[in-house]
Structure formats: C-alpha cells, structure tokens
Amino acid sequence: MANTKMIGARVKPDLEEQVKEIAARDRRTVSDWIRCRLEDAVAAARRQDQHRSEAA
C-alpha cells in the first residue's frame, strides 16, 4: 500500500454536485479525482516556486 495520509475537506453543496459529475465523466471516484487535482496543484506551485528562485 502506498504511503498516504487521509485528509478531510469541506465542500460547498453546489460544488459537491459538480465534482461528482466531473468525477463520473472521468470515470473516477470523487476522492480519486480530488487527489489528482491536489497533485496537479502541488506540482504547479512547485514549478512556480522554482521559477521564482531562478529569476532572483
């Protein structure tokens, strides 16, 4: 099993329905879809931080 940690998040009811629909279109579970988006956000933030440090 992967070394993972469970975290919780509050989602507004209107967003919850949208996330469920998007996850279903991608044929993923809601938690898997959110995990992928979090991984994308972390990777983007790291690239942005790296770009800032190179520019300095």
CA trace torsion 44, 47, 49, 53 (10° rounding): -170
Number of residues assigned to the chain: 56
pTM for the full model?
0.62
Per-residue pLDDT tens digits for 12-24 = 888 989 989 989 9
The structure tokens listed for 28 are 């993923």
Side-chain-side CA neighbours of 21 within 13 Å: the count stands at 6
Per-residue pLDDT tens digits for 23-38 = 999 898 888 888 888 8
Look-up: residue for tokens 């520019």? 55
Taking the C-alpha atoms of residue 43 and residue 52, their distance in angstroms, rounded to an integer, is: 14
Q: Residue 34 in contact with residue 9, Cβ under 8 Å? A: yes
